[in-house]
Amino acid sequence: MEMGMRNHELVPLELIASISKIHRGAVSCSLINLAKHGTVAHERGKRCKLTLLCCEEICRILDDGYRLTTLGYDILALKDLCSREVVGAVGNQIGVGKESDVFVGGDPKLNDLVLKFHRLGRISFRKLKEKRDYCKKRKSCSWLYLSSLAAAKEFAFLKALHDHNFPLPRPIDRCRHVVVMDLINGTTLCHVQKLNDVEGLYEKLMNIIVRLARYGLIHGDFNEFNIMLTEEEEPVLIDLPQMVSMDHTNAQFYFERDVNCVRTFFRRRFNYESELYPNFDAMTRKYNLDVEVSASGFTPRMSKVYEKVLFQSYLILLKNSCY
């Protein structure tokens, strides 16, 4: 079914039987049992509305068939991670965001680690009810596929930045929409009320933004919710799916937004405001880490697909905010 969903929103029973090389009757019985456990869902043919980039709506008829649910996709990813002996246990949920769920876990030797399940389409993209042809020859792009793209992007940047000694968790492995990384003992910056050295932390955060720019990258979502603070008040970046290249069309916008997020937070939380902050025009690229990331697995084509759906969702949210 997962193979069928590469180019089908709903996978017909006949196609599932053909791909699996199992008799149709046996496949039907298995699907009924899987549906009872919530790992797959059956949908009959229906007429739905499709929102285009121009914000016009057209009707489209979906075929009868089956699709993987989020639970089913989670199980597939965890099964593969367990077979690779990467994950041995999954514990409590320790974080929830607009686009991800974070759980504490353990490897087969019960060393602590973190599992991040990407959930595109859950909240911030809920208004975008139908996924069009973002994938060139694909007939559709499911939210499961887009979540897998987000995980691929984050893992690629985690690995590249960790290899260059940026402050972030050590990436361990990725499977589908799940990223496995080291557990960081600390507190999310948004929950910190007091600091021993406010000015020192402010400078460290601005230095990270500048250093990223010199490596050809912009975080894109550099705020108190995506930064952890250790007991020694050392910042650690924990969320990277929004990261873009310094060559991006809107690079200056993202760079200035990152800087202003830090300045605004320090002014409101710690009553601290500095006249010293980085300027986009003064940034000089010295390395091409964005190029390295493209070569490491997250290709420019994958990036275009991911960024296009983000732009589509932004248009829909903007349209709704006007009413």
Q: Does residue 100 form part of some domain?
A: no
Query: What pLDDT sits at residue 242?
Result: 81
Rounded distance between C-alpha atoms, residue 204 and residue 286, angstroms: 20
Lowest mean pLDDT among 60-69, 156-165, 219-228, 260-269: 60-69
pLDDT in tens, 282-323: 999 998 888 777 644 455 565 565 556 555 555 554 555 554
Last residue of a domain, one of 42, 68, 94: 68
Query: What pLDDT sits at residue 313?
Result: 54
Over residues 110-132, mean pLDDT: 70
CATH number at residue 222: 1.10.510.10
Q: Does residue 317 form part of some domain?
A: yes
Q: Does residue 142 form part of some domain?
A: no
Last residue of a domain, one of 23, 49, 68: 68
pLDDT at 78 over 60: yes
Is 258 among the residues known to form the active site?
no
> What is the pTM (predicted TM-score) of this model?
0.80
Over residues 273-285, mean pLDDT: 94
**DSSP element (H, E) containing 182:** strand 178-182
- The chain-wide mean pLDDT, for the chain, equals 83
Query: What pLDDT sits at residue 302?
Result: 56
Q: Does residue 264 form part of some domain?
A: yes
Q: Which domain holds residue 43?
A: 1-68
Most confident of 178-192, 232-246, 288-302: 178-192
Most confident of 49-53, 139-143, 179-183: 179-183
pLDDT at 88 over 50: yes
| φ/ψ (deg, to 5) at 242 | -90, 0
Task: Select from 93, 75, 92 the least CA-distant residue to 83.
Answer: 75
Q: Does residue 175 form part of some domain?
A: no
Angle value at C-alpha 316, between 314 and 321, nearest 5 degrees: 90
Q: Does residue 182 form part of some domain?
A: no
Under the banding of pLDDT at 50, 70 and 90, the label for residue 151 is very high
Last residue of a domain, one of 68, 98, 122: 68
Q: Does residue 269 form part of some domain?
A: yes
Query: What pLDDT sits at residue 64?
Result: 77
Domain count, the chain: 2
Q: Does residue 156 form part of some domain?
A: no
pLDDT at 136 over 80: no
pLDDT at 1 over 90: no
Q: Choose, from 80, 221, 247, 281, the residue flagged as catalytic.
A: 221
3-state secondary structure of 52: coil
